[in-house]
Amino acid sequence: MKTFNKQEGLLSLLDEDFNKGHTRFHRWHIDAPLYARDPAWFTTLRCFKRPMEPELTIHRDDGSGQTMQTEPGLTAFISNVQAYDLMSEEERKIADHSWVEYAPHPYQWMGDCKSKSHGLGLVNRSKEKTTEQLSPYDKKDVKRYPMVWVNPTTRVDEEPRVVEDVAEIREWLAKIQEQVLKPEYVMLPKVVEGDIVMWTNYQMFHTAVDYPSHYGARTMHQANIGASSGPIGPVPIPVSS
């Protein structure tokens, strides 16, 4: 039986439905280690092989009822520049003046967390690891990035408010980011064998879209172009201690 917990944003997807072509976005992300190295400026993905049919229906499965059609084996994109454009003045002001300090080894830290049904953000279940549970780390490699990434400009900053509660941060981000997660704003480039898709990694979120394995193999070659400098915000942020 399907259970939808609105608070958790979790809806279990039955194998039976998945095999009939009911799918979801996997996990929206940019390609970024978020520890030690800065994220690549650009990412390229070359389609080597993918199944071309049958069509699938992507469901947000968050109670919104939103769906869209796709061929199997594609990568979906949404624009974070567009998400910024859709924000209110007040939200933009907060985001412009905010920064994020990531946990050391952030993917280990969130390793036991679950994504929401639409793949954007995590469910708050206090499953994040403590720093003591993580592999040894070097404090100087912990990343602190501005929330908004721009070309260099500087403005006067205000007194910062440090928010330690990840649930509060996720709730604030979800309201903003979910505005851009709509079929009319999602791009699903129809790559065929031999095509290369290349995108600005600092501006776009992307995700795989799951499909039943019996549709056939999906093979992509990925190359990231190393960054000679990391993201810069609209206002200077304090340097990590």
Taking CB under 5 A as the binding criterion, the range among 10-18, 31-39, 110-118, 168-176 that sits at the site for Fe ion is 31-39
Binding-site residue total for Fe ion (CB under 5 A)?
1
Quick one: 17 or 31, whose CB is closer to Fe ion? Answer: 31
Residue window 56-85: x/- pattern of binding to Fe ion, with contact defined by CB under 5 A: ------------------------------
DSSP-based three-state secondary structure for 115? strand
Stretch in the footprint of Fe ion (CB under 5 A) among 28-36, 62-70, 107-115, 142-150: 28-36
Least distance between Fe ion and beta carbon 86 (Å): 23
Q: Are 190 and 35 in contact (CB under 8 A)?
A: no
**208 lines the binding site for Fe ion (CB under 5 A):** no
- To Fe ion, the closest distance from the beta carbon of 163 in angstroms equals 27
Peptide bond into 106 cis (omega under 30): no
Based on the shown chain and the rule CB under 5 A, indicate whether residue 210 belongs to the binding site for Fe ion: no
- Phi, psi (5° rounding) for residue 13? -105, 120
How does 69-87 read in b/e, with b if 16+ C-beta sit within 10 Å?
Answer: ebbbbbbbbbbbeebbeeb
27-35, 56-64, 148-156, 173-181 -> range binding Fe ion (CB under 5 A): 27-35
Please identify, using beta-carbon distances, which residue of 50 and 97 lies nearer to Fe ion.
50
The HSE-up count of residue 6 (CA atoms within 13 Å, CB side) is: 2
Cβ-closest position to Fe ion: 31
Alpha helices (H) in 136-201, listed in sequence order: 166-177
Region for 105 from its dihedrals, namely left if φ exceeds 0, alpha if ψ lies in -120 to 50, beta otherwise:
left
Q: Which residues ranging from 222 to 241 are in contact with Fe ion (CB under 5 A)?
A: none
- Cβ 9 to Fe ion shortest distance, Å: 22
Pairwise CA distance, residues 80 & 187, whole Å: 13
Question: Rounded to the nearest whole angstrom, what is the least distance from the CB of residue 45 to Fe ion in the complex?
Answer: 8
Q: CB under 5 A: which stretch of 23-31, 51-59, 145-153, 166-174 binds Fe ion?
A: 23-31
- Check binding of 31 to Fe ion (CB under 5 A): yes
Strands 42-49 and 196-200 turn out to be: antiparallel
Q: Which is nearer to Fe ion, 11 or 180 (CB)?
A: 180
How do 204-208 and 196-200 pair as beta strands? unpaired
**Identity of the residue, 31 or 38, whose beta carbon is nearer to Fe ion in the bound complex:** 31
* Closest of 223, 177, 214 to residue 53, by C-alpha: 214
Binding residues (CB under 5 A) for Fe ion: these are 31
